[in-house]
């Protein structure tokens, strides 16, 4: 039998049972579409997150006291910094870090306890101010106004998310009241920013944030640690972000690590507790690997759905072999070889599997695209998964069709021709 | 092995026994020997269960004997592979059954082309061939009909056209008139007679003496053995 005739006959059999074939294909479509939906949406989120990360915080090196990792234990995102990091990086350390080759700027970050902020009669509960330096604000970060000045009291920068929390429209030049446990202070909003560099994740500061200069706010009321190098107590930070020269991130990171681990005040304060130094590249790798794991897991669920579809094909093909026993006998009496009968049934199963892919892939892409639109992430076409899913349609067809086709080939023509 | 072909026999059945194991042993054919000369027309008669269909199936290479040799076109079917037997059926043999055995979802034309599909003929060539044959059996105006849209007699004619498609050496007909009325039966027998005149060897199984008498000779079977070979008047 010629291949083309085999295809024609297989197609005829399938279209002869339109509804049944369609329902069988639906099982495969669901499996393949699920794979594509999860893969395309997952890949899109991954690409989006990673590119955002890279564009907003390229060449940053994060220093956190305490052992935190990303990826394996996921501790990086768990809980607030205060719960696991110790104030250990002293002002002396910060000066030393600033002098390391390849470091462009040092952005310490700390929090100053407060109880609330209020504006125009509305009070917003907020447990801390975020202390940082003016260098933490890049031009793109500032929406209006400017950064505060270091050493100046009474000036703050609000994050956009903080501005949105107030019903009344806060603009640059307005004053807000900061309430602490021991009193309150009226400060002027000098700028509004989307975020400040030096925070973790750098996806922008989602929660409402009020930024103040470390000098004087953190230095006056923040925690302190003993500077082993200078023999006095100094304000100390839990977290510092370094901006490295873009072409020297990796080497700079090593130098920073060496300093921190060998001669810093921080290492004396921390003792056995380690210090974590990670560059954006490390973080991106970590996030990528976490997301890849998630995509694999969820896509695996789709593969399970495909399994169910495979059983559907096998089931229908077995029914079909029984129903068509007589046809098989007729074909054999007219010269069909066992191999040809087998191929004919296998072709049917493969066509069902491929039909599942042909319908399932575009459907999955459409839903994945819709989900990306909804989640406001850029859509990335998951080419590899399209190939994998199509191959899975084919393989599903072959595997689920093998046993029924083998049964068909083994039909005894004499029995079959007697079959009523 | 088949060196004794002085007479050009198409089929040679030598001491063939066929047993079925079903709990006990059923001997369907018991030491049967038979030759079908080229272009001969042979009928097989006998009571139900006497082994007529079994003999036909062995000669049709649909089955192999328990012992003895069945030679078709000087090829011993016991020594052929499954695929070679399939090829033999597809090209040298044509089957006609009591129950027509047409593919229900294929049209008359497509049914008639079936052996040509497995013999790998070109699509256009095989359609031309099948159309000619259908016209020959008087179904020129029914070629695109499905079997269920045809009468019993018409279906059997499609089956005859199909059996003739590859112009086989031997036509095996197992009670071809069993499911049609007398008049239609006569028309079918007419077609077979014409076919035989064109040179195809025919082996026909029937219950009816009247039908069997169309053949050159009648082989009578009882309990798996040939009891009598009768030359008919048609031979003269
Ligand atoms: N596949 C089989 N398995 C077991 N026994 C079988 C098989 N095929 C035929 N037989 C037995 O072999 C014997 C001969 O059967 P066969 O079909 O050849 O008879 P027949 O002469 O064609 O009868 P009928 O006129 O009823 O068609 C019977 O006893 C039958 O039961
Ligand atoms: Mg019979």
Query: What's the pLDDT tens digit per position in A167-197?
Result: 888 999 999 999 988 889 999 999 999 888 8
Q: Could you tell me the pLDDT band of residue B177, with boundaries at 50, 70 and 90?
A: very high
Q: What's the confidence (pLDDT) of residue A291?
A: 84
The neighbouring-strand residues paired with A189 are A156
Q: Which of A188, A194, A123 is nearest to A161 (CA)?
A: A194
Yes or no, beta carbons of A338 and B89 under 8 Å apart: no
Q: What's the confidence (pLDDT) of residue A67?
A: 65
Q: What's the confidence (pLDDT) of residue A334?
A: 97
How do the residues of chain A divide into helix, strand and coil, expressed in percent and rounded to 5? 55, 20, 25
Sign of dihedral through CA atoms B72, B75, B76, B78? negative
- The widest CA-to-CA distance across chain A, in whole angstroms, is 104
Query: CA separation (Å) from A119 to A78, A144, A181, A190, A303?
Result: 32, 18, 18, 15, 54
How far apart CA A179 and CA A167 sit, in angstroms, is 19
- Taking the centre of ligand 2 as the mean of its atom positions, its distance from the CA of residue B216, in whole angstroms, is 21
∠ Cα A199 A204 A208 (to 5°): 90
The answer to whether A240 and A108 are in contact (CB under 8 A) is yes
The distance from CA A203 to its chain's CA centroid, rounded to whole angstroms, is 12
- Beta-carbon count within 10 A of B14 CB: 18
pLDDT tens digits, B158-175: 999 999 999 999 999 999
- When scoring A331, A333, A347, A410 by the number of chain B Cβ atoms within 10 A, the one with the most, hence best to mutate, is A333
Yes or no, beta carbons of A334 and B114 under 8 Å apart: yes
Relative to the alpha carbon of B225, which ligand is closest? 1
First to last CA, chain B: 33
Q: A262: which residues sit within 8 A by CB, 6+ positions away?
A: none
Q: What's the confidence (pLDDT) of residue B2?
A: 42
Give me the mean pLDDT over the B179-197 stretch: 94
pTM value?
0.72
The answer to whether A167 and A223 are in contact (CB under 8 A) is no
Q: What's the confidence (pLDDT) of residue B169?
A: 95
Q: What's the confidence (pLDDT) of residue A182?
A: 86
Give me the mean pLDDT over the A270-288 stretch: 79
Q: What's the confidence (pLDDT) of residue B4?
A: 45
Q: What's the confidence (pLDDT) of residue A200?
A: 61
Give me the mean pLDDT over the B22-26 stretch: 89
Residue B233 buriedness (CB in 10 A; 0-12 / 13-18 / 19+) = exposed
Helices in A58-130 by DSSP H: which ranges? 81-84, 91-98
Asked which of A11-20, A51-60, A313-322 is least confident by mean pLDDT, the reply is A51-60
Q: What's the confidence (pLDDT) of residue B23?
A: 86
Q: What's the confidence (pLDDT) of residue A201?
A: 47
Q: What's the confidence (pLDDT) of residue A78?
A: 41
Q: A235: which residues sit within 8 A by CB, 6+ positions away?
A: A90, A91, A110, A214, A218, A219, A222, A223, A224
User: By alpha-carbon position, which residue is closest to atom 18 of ligand 1?
Assistant: B51
pLDDT tens digits, A140-154: 889 999 999 999 999
- Tell me the three state secondary structure of residue B179: coil
Element (H, E) at B8: none
How far apart CA A231 and CA A267 sit, in angstroms, is 14
Please say if the pLDDT value at position A203 is more than 80. no
Please say if the pLDDT value at position A100 is more than 60. yes
How far apart CA B174 and CA B168 sit, in angstroms, is 16
Instruction: Kindly state the percentage of chain A with pLDDT values over 70.
Output: 92
The neighbouring-strand residues paired with A239 are A64, A109
Give me the mean pLDDT over the A404-411 stretch: 96
User: By alpha-carbon position, which residue is closest to atom 3 of ligand 1?
Assistant: B20
Buried b (16+ CB within 10 A) or exposed e, B97-111: bbbbbbbebbbbbbb
∠ Cα B96 B99 B100 (to 5°): 50
Running DSSP on this structure, what letter comes out for residue A238? S
pLDDT tens digits, B195-219: 999 999 999 999 999 999 999 999 9
Domain ranges of chain B: 38-61+81-235
Indicate the residue of A329, A334, A414 with minimum beta-carbon distance to B90.
A334
How far apart CA B68 and CA A292 sit, in angstroms, is 69
Relative to the alpha carbon of A416, which ligand is closest? 1
The distance from CA B192 to its chain's CA centroid, rounded to whole angstroms, is 11
Task: Please indicate if any CB of chain B lies within 8 Å of the CB of A330.
Answer: yes
Fold for B38-61+81-235, please state it: Rossmann fold (3.40.50)
Mean pLDDT of chain B: 93
The neighbouring-strand residues paired with A235 are A224
Ligand 1 atom closest to the Cα of residue B47 is: 25
Asked which of A326-340, A342-356, A370-384, B135-149 is least confident by mean pLDDT, the reply is A370-384
Q: What's the confidence (pLDDT) of residue A339?
A: 96
- Tell me the three state secondary structure of residue A66: coil
Residues of B in contact with A324 (CB under 8 A): none
Give me the mean pLDDT over the B86-107 stretch: 95
Mean pLDDT of chain A: 87
Q: What's the confidence (pLDDT) of residue A71?
A: 39
C-alpha count within 13 angstroms, C-beta hemisphere, residue A132: 28
- Taking the centre of ligand 1 as the mean of its atom positions, its distance from the CA of residue B13, in whole angstroms, is 18
Please say if the pLDDT value at position B181 is more than 50. yes
Q: What's the confidence (pLDDT) of residue A49?
A: 80
Element (H, E) at A401: helix A383-409
Give me the mean pLDDT over the A131-135 stretch: 91
Minimum CA–CA partner of A341 in chain B: B118
Q: Ligand 1: which of B17, B28, B207, B227 to mutate, most ligand atoms within 8 Å of CB? A: B28
How far apart CA A130 and CA A134 sit, in angstroms, is 12
Beta strand extents in B23-162 (DSSP E only): 24-37, 41-45, 67-72, 75-76, 93-97
Q: What's the confidence (pLDDT) of residue A56?
A: 61
Q: What's the confidence (pLDDT) of residue B117?
A: 97
Beta strand extents in A272-409 (DSSP E only): 275-279
ipTM of this predicted complex? 0.94
Q: Ligand 1: which of B19, B24, B47, B50 to mutate, most ligand atoms within 8 Å of CB? A: B50
Q: Could you tell me the pLDDT band of residue A61, with boundaries at 50, 70 and 90?
A: confident
The answer to whether A145 and A157 are in contact (CB under 8 A) is yes
The neighbouring-strand residues paired with B17 are B67
């Amino acid at each position: 039998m010629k291949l083309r005739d085999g295809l024609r006959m297989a197609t005829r059999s399938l279209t002869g049972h339109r509804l049944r074939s369609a329902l069988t294909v639906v099982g495969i479509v669901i499996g393949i579409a699920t794979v594509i939906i999860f893969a395309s949406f997952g890949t899109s989120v991954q690409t989006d997150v990673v590119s955002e990360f890279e564009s907003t915080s390229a060449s940053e090196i994060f220093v956190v006291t305490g052992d935190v990792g990303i990826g394996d234990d996921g501790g990086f995102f768990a809980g607030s910094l205060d719960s696991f990091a110790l104030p250990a990086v002293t002002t002396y350390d910060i000066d030393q870090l600033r002098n390391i080759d390849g470091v462009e700027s040092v952005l310490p970050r700390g929090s100053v306890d407060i109880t609330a902020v209020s504006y125009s009669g509305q009070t917003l509960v907020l447990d801390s101010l975020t202390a940082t330096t003016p260098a933490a604000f890049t031009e793109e970060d500032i929406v209006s106004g400017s950064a505060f000045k270091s050493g100046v009291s009474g000036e703050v920068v609000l994050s956009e998310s903080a501005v949105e929390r107030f019903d009344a429209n806060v603009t640059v030049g307005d004053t807000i009241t900061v309430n602490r446990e021991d009193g309150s202070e009226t400060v002027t909003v000098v700028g509004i920013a989307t975020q400040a560099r030096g925070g973790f994740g750098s996806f922008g500061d989602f929660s409402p944030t009020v930024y103040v200069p470390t000098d004087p706010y953190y230095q006056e009321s923040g925690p302190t640690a003993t500077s082993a190098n200078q023999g006095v107590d100094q304000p100390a930070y839990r977290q510092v972000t370094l901006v490295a020269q873009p072409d020297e991130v990796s080497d700079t990171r090593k130098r920073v690590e060496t300093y921190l681990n060998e001669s810093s005040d921080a290492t004396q304060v921390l003792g056995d507790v380690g210090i974590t130094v990670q560059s954006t590249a490390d973080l991106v790798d970590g996030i990528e690997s976490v997301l890849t794991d998630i995509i694999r897991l969820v896509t695996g669920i789709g593969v399970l759905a495909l399994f169910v579809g495979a059983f559907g094909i096998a089931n229908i093909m077995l029914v079909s072999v029984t129903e068509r026993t007589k046809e098989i006998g007729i074909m054999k009496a007219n010269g069909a070889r066992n191999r040809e009968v087998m191929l004919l049934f296998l072709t049917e199963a493969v066509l069902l599997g491929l039909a599942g892919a042909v319908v399932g892939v575009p459907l999955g892409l459409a839903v994945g695209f819709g989900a990306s639109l909804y989640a406001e992430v850029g859509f990335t076409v998951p080419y590899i998964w399209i190939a994998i899913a199509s191959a899975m349609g084919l393989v599903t067809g072959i595997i689920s069709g093998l046993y029924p086709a083998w049964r068909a080939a083994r039909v005894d023509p004499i029995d079959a021709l007697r079959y009523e | 092995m088949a060196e004794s072909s002085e007479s050009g026999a198409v089929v040679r059945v030598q001491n063939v026994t066929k047993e079925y194991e079903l709990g006990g042993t059923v001997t369907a054919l018991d030491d049967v020997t038979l030759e079908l000369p080229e272009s001969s027309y042979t009928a097989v008669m006998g009571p139900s269960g006497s082994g007529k269909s079994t003999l036909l199936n062995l000669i049709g290479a649909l089955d192999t004997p328990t012992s003895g040799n069945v030679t078709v076109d000087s090829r011993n079917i016991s020594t052929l592979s499954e695929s070679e037997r399939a090829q033999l059926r597809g090209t040298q043999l044509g089957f006609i059954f009591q129950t027509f055995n047409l593919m229900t979802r294929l049209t008359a034309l497509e049914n008639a082309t079936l052996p040509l599909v497995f013999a790998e003929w070109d699509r256009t060539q095989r359609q031309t061939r099948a159309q000619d044959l259908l016209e020959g059996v008087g179904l020129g105006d029914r070629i695109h009909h499905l079997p269920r849209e045809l009468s019993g007699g018409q279906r059997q004619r499609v089956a005859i056209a199909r059996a003739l498609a590859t112009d086989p050496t031997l036509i095996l007909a197992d009670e071809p008139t069993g499911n049609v009325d007398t008049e239609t039966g006569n028309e079918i027998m007419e077609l077979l007679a014409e076919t035989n005149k064109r040179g195809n060897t025919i082996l026909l199984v029937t219950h009816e003496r009247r039908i069997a008498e169309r053949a050159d000779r009648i082989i009578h079977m009882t309990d798996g053995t040939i009891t009598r070979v009768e030359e008919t008047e048609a031979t003269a």
